[in-house]
């Protein structure tokens, strides 16, 4: 390899790193822009890009993607995209979509559970509306082979409200439901301990929203260190935690930690996003680990897509190159 080529490769890596630093915040801000949403969702290239990360817009698309994942030995979690509904009709419609996918899972005999965002079911409108809507979903899931329901976590303004609602469900005996905790928040270590005490299932992720320094770590290294601390506690004391990460160093750490502490592979699962690191997903399945692919679908894919772009802005360049290749 020539010195000139080596320098060029190194420079490209630096450019990608700088792009990651400079693009994350503006991309997340654009996720809230109605004008940009209109442009991207009506643009052919935007829809092509979205299909890498989103199964499609219909239930049929979700079923097809789920069946493909199941055939490869992966479990799945289905999520009908949508958030921050502003009226009762929208919230009830989102609830109906969740109820429908439960019927589909049962009818198609999919190895799947579901993930829901409480803001889609009226969390911004009225607590009782949201609670009754998610209660309908949890009860139906229980009646259909005890299907598991994951309450997704959104921005930090919703963290306590989501955990409070979850605890109310739990105290009423609805234990086929779990939560998501985000390692970029300072509070997460305490929340992990609270969930361990309850015996609740936790999905641990890093977090994908733009958060202020008052509530969240700002440096990736700090987020990663907190992830590892929380992960080890959940693996040792938690109830079948979902380790949501594509970071191979963290995955290797988890495997080594499990080996050292005699934690068998059936006590936890790795979770990854649809369309991201498919090679890694297959490799972990072949190594005997449980892997769950998070499969989003629906027409409201724009905010989800922008968060995926913000997590790793290099995806913008990768997907564009794939598009032009054909």
Q: Please identify every residue annotated as catalytic.
A: 152, 203
DSSP character at residue 273 = E
Helix H or strand E encompassing 224:
helix 220-237
CB 101 within 8 A of CB 62: yes
DSSP character at residue 77 = E
Instruction: Give the whole-angstrom CA distance, residue 71 versus residue 73.
Output: 5
Instruction: Give the whole-angstrom CA distance, residue 65 versus residue 51.
Output: 11
3-state secondary structure (DSSP) of residue 106: helix
| Contact residues for 115 (Cβ-Cβ < 8 A; gap 6+) | 77, 78, 79, 149, 150, 151, 152, 294
What's the token pair of residue 215? 């509530």
Instruction: Give the whole-angstrom CA distance, residue 204 versus residue 68.
Output: 25
Beta bridge partners of 116: 151
Any idea of the CA torsion for 235, 240, 241, 242, to the nearest 10 degrees? 130
The CA R_g of the chain, rounded to the nearest whole Å, is 20
Q: What angle do CA 128, 32, 113 make, to 5 degrees?
A: 50
């Amino acid at each position: 390899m020539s010195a000139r080529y080596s320098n060029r490769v190194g420079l490209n890596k630096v450019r990608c790193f700088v792009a990651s630093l400079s693009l994350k915040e503006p991309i997340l801000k654009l996720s809230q822009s109605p004008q940009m949403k209109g442009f991207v969702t009506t643009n052919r290239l935007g829809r092509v890009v979205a299909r890498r990360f989103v199964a499609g817009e219909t239930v049929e698309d979700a079923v097809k993607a789920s069946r493909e994942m199941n055939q490869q030995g992966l479990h799945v979690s289905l999520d009908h995209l949508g958030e921050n509904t502003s009226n009762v009709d929208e919230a009830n419609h989102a609830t109906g979509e969740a109820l429908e996918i439960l019927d589909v899972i049962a009818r198609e005999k999919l190895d799947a559970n579901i993930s829901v965002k409480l803001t889609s079911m009226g969390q911004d409108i009225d607590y009782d509306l949201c609670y009754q809507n998610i209660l309908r979903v949890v009860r139906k899931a229980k009646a259909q082979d005890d299907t598991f329901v994951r309450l997704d976590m959104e921005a930090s303004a919703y963290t306590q409200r989501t955990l409070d609602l979850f605890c109310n469900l739990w105290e009423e005996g609805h234990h086929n439901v779990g939560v998501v905790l985000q390692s970029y928040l300072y509070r997460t270590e305490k929340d992990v301990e609270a969930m361990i005490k309850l015996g609740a299932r936790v999905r641990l992720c890093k977090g994908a929203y733009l958060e202020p320094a008052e509530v969240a770590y700002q440096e990736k290294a700090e987020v990663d260190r907190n992830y590892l601390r929380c992960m080890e506690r959940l693996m040792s004391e938690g109830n079948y935690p979902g380790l949501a990460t594509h970071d191979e160093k963290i995955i290797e750490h988890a495997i080594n930690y499990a080996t050292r502490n005699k934690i068998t592979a059936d006590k936890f699962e790795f979770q990854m996003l649809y369309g991201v690191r498919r090679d890694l997903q297959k490799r972990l399945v072949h190594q005997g680990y449980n892997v769950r692919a998070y499969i989003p679908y629906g027409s409201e894919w724009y905010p989800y897509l922008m968060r995926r772009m913000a997590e790793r802005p290099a995806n913008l360049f990768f997907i564009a190159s794939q598009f032009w290749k054909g």
